[in-house]
Amino acid sequence: MIDVHLERFDRLLLNKLQQSFPLVSEPFKQIGEEFNVGSEQVMERIAFLKERQILRQISAIFNTSALGYTSSLVAVSVPDESIETVAQAINAYPGVSHNYLRPANFNLWFTIAVPPGYDIEHVVRKLVKSAGDFPFLILPALKKYKLAMVLDMIDDGDPYDSPSSKAFKPPLVSSSGLFNLARDHIRIVRCVQEDLPLVEKPFKNCAERLNIDESTLLDILKSWLKAGIIRRFAALLNHREAGFMANGMVVWTCPDEQIDSAGTKLASFPEVSHCYHRPAYPQWPYNLYAMVHSKTFEKCENIAKNLSQAINLSDYKVLFSVHEFKKIRLKLFWDYHEGEEK
């Protein structure tokens, strides 16, 4: 069950913040107006949710490929006695944002992004070799069908009678615009990827540090959002602290000619947060991936079963994340220094 100590307003607010955050001068005031409360109450509840570690941060969520980054999921086959040591070695690379133990013949799963100008296969090979040189698979997204990590915080049977209950439109999975790798734009990215401060005019705070007008910053952010360079400006939750204890990666073996129809179908389910077509290998024949989150492992397995029936595929596995070695927001341009031209 979702944390019983959360007020209903907290849960409605979390739903709202996960979907989108207003790109306006006084966003907390606008959110408060939607719920008929003041901005002070909105900020107070957000502060409480952060203290409880339910809400991780509110920030821009970027389309990394639009910024020139190359990313991939990587699976490594590691002996049980070496798993902790290998995970720590891999986590040392700043482009590794998530790293989980998922029991299977490939049991260590991490996501990695490398900056513009770097070859991801070279970086991964070097990283895995330094960690123990175990068998691994590079599993980039050949096609993205859905990327929208939004957890429904409304309890079963709770009436949907607030702004947060409006149908959520998943963000763009690809960008229609190209990011300008100019120094000023990189500085903006580095600022807005951080947690937004809890003040009446949080964007003014960032604009002053960047030495630009608040209105200019907001216009840039809106244009990036429209072009898909920013995927969402929203809140991110700690799913376990929010009551979603089961994190399952469902993988299917899907005929190539059915991939698009199956991926599109899976993306339509609200229980699916991410859905990708990834390459298959002789030792790992799965090529269709979907992430699902639920309050229990049993419910997660039932979701996977229903999804499989919906796409008429019976060859699948549910890989549960049984241990979390790393989970952070990827900090873009970590190798950039102020005053350095790119």
pLDDT at 158 over 50: no
Tokens of 32: 């408060």
The H or E element spanning position 115 is none
Contact 11, 155 (CB under 8 A): yes
DSSP string, 29-52: HHHHHHHTS-HHHHHHHHHHHHHT
Nearest-angstrom CA–CA distance, 161 and 341: 50
- Specify the pairing of strand 230-237 against strand 55-62: antiparallel
Given CA atoms 110, 68, 219, 185 in this order, what sign does their dihedral have?
Answer: positive
- Specify the pairing of strand 316-320 against strand 288-294: unpaired
Q: What is the model's pLDDT at position 272?
A: 94
H helical segments located in 153-236: 183-192, 202-210, 214-227
Tell me the per-residue pLDDT of 116-150, one tens digit each, with 9 for 90 and over.
889 999 999 999 999 999 999 999 999 999 988 77
pLDDT band at 168 (very low <50, low <70, confident <90, very high): low
Tokens of 232: 């969402």
Name the DSSP letter for residue 156.
T
pLDDT at 56 over 60: yes
Tell me the per-residue pLDDT of 13-33, one tens digit each, with 9 for 90 and over.
999 999 999 999 999 999 999
Report the DSSP beta bridge partners of residue 317.
251
Q: What is the model's pLDDT at position 165?
A: 42
Active site residue: 98, 122, 239, 274, which one? 98
Q: What is the model's pLDDT at position 303?
A: 96
Q: What is the model's pLDDT at position 218?
A: 98
Task: Return the higher-pLDDT residue of 4 and 305.
Answer: 305
pLDDT at 160 over 90: no
CA distances from 146 to 150, 192, 214, 267, 290 (A): 11, 23, 32, 5, 9
Q: What is the model's pLDDT at position 157?
A: 44
Q: What is the model's pLDDT at position 256?
A: 95
Phi-psi region at 330: left, alpha or beta (left = phi > 0; alpha = psi -120 to 50): beta
274 is catalytic: no
Query: What is the arithmetic mean of pLDDT over 36-43?
Result: 97
pLDDT band at 335 (very low <50, low <70, confident <90, very high): confident
| Range scoring the smallest mean pLDDT among 44-48, 79-83, 149-153, 273-277 | 149-153
pLDDT at 228 over 70: yes
Tokens of 134: 């175990």
| Range scoring the smallest mean pLDDT among 110-114, 170-174, 207-211, 217-221 | 170-174
The pTM (predicted TM-score) of the whole model is 0.87
Contact 232, 171 (CB under 8 A): yes
Tell me the per-residue pLDDT of 317-330, one tens digit each, with 9 for 90 and over.
999 999 999 998 89
Q: Smallest Cα–Cα separation from 259: which of 283, 281, 275, 282? A: 275
Domains of the chain as residue ranges with CATH: 8-61+150-200+232-237 (1.10.10.2890)
Phi-psi region at 211: left, alpha or beta (left = phi > 0; alpha = psi -120 to 50): left
Q: Smallest Cα–Cα separation from 331: which of 96, 9, 92? A: 96
Chain mean pLDDT for the chain = 89
Query: What ranges make up the beta strands (E) of 201-295?
Result: 230-237, 246-252, 272-277, 288-294
First to last CA, the chain: 48
Phi, psi of 281 (to 5 degrees): -130, 155
Give the three-state DSSP class for 320.
strand
pLDDT band at 240 (very low <50, low <70, confident <90, very high): confident
Express as a percent the part of the chain with pLDDT over 90: 75
Q: What is the model's pLDDT at position 337?
A: 52
pLDDT at 341 over 50: no
